[in-house]
Amino acid sequence: MTRQYELAGKSGARYRYTPLEEARFLPPAGANFVIAKMTKEGPTVVYAGETDNLANQTWRVALEKARAAYGEAAVLTRLNVTRAVREAERSDLIEEHQPPMNQGSGRPRA
């Protein structure tokens, strides 16, 4: 079974994210994603985003930027069909973790 990571939002809500296996088939579903530097203490969020279609792989641009800036980085995902839910969750995570790649970028979306 794939390991899951719980990420807390500013609201106190906890969200379960699963590491994305880049080579596997990705569902054409809406999802939240974070790009994180993985440490033995767990993930450190460097970017939080959301997408209408995970299979489009629009998150790859942010992943490459993260790898260039922070070294090894991983994509963690959480499927969420409803856009309003995705956007609220993304905002909650950004408020709590202050990801450096989200700072000053307005409303990040992939």
Structure tokens at 54: 């995970």
Q: How far apart are CA 6 and CA 28, in angstroms?
A: 23
d(CA 98, CA 54): 23
106 within a domain of the structure (yes/no): no
Whether residue 23 contacts residue 75, with contact meaning beta carbons closer than 8 Å, is answered with: no
Report the predicted TM-score, pTM, of the whole model to 2 decimal places.
Answer: 0.88
Strands (E) located in 1-110: 5-8, 14-19, 31-39, 42-51, 74-79
Which residues does 63 contact at the CB level (< 8 Å), separation at least 6?
Answer: 35, 73, 75
In a domain, 103, yes or no: no
CA distance 40 to 17: 16
Whether 67 is in a domain gets the answer: yes
Considering its fold, how many domains does the chain have in total?
Answer: 1
Tell me, yes or no, whether 63 lies in a domain.
yes
On whether residue 108 sits in a domain, the answer given is: no
Per-residue pLDDT of 81-109, as tens digits, reads 799 999 999 999 999 999 999 987 554 44
Q: Is residue 11 part of a domain?
A: yes
Amino acid found at 66 = A
Q: Is 105 within a domain?
A: no
Mean pLDDT of 32-41: 92
Domain range spanning residue 45?
5-97
Q: Give the tens place of pLDDT for each residue, 44-95.
A: 999 999 999 999 988 999 999 999 998 889 999 999 879 999 999 999 999 9
| Residue 64, in any domain of the structure | yes
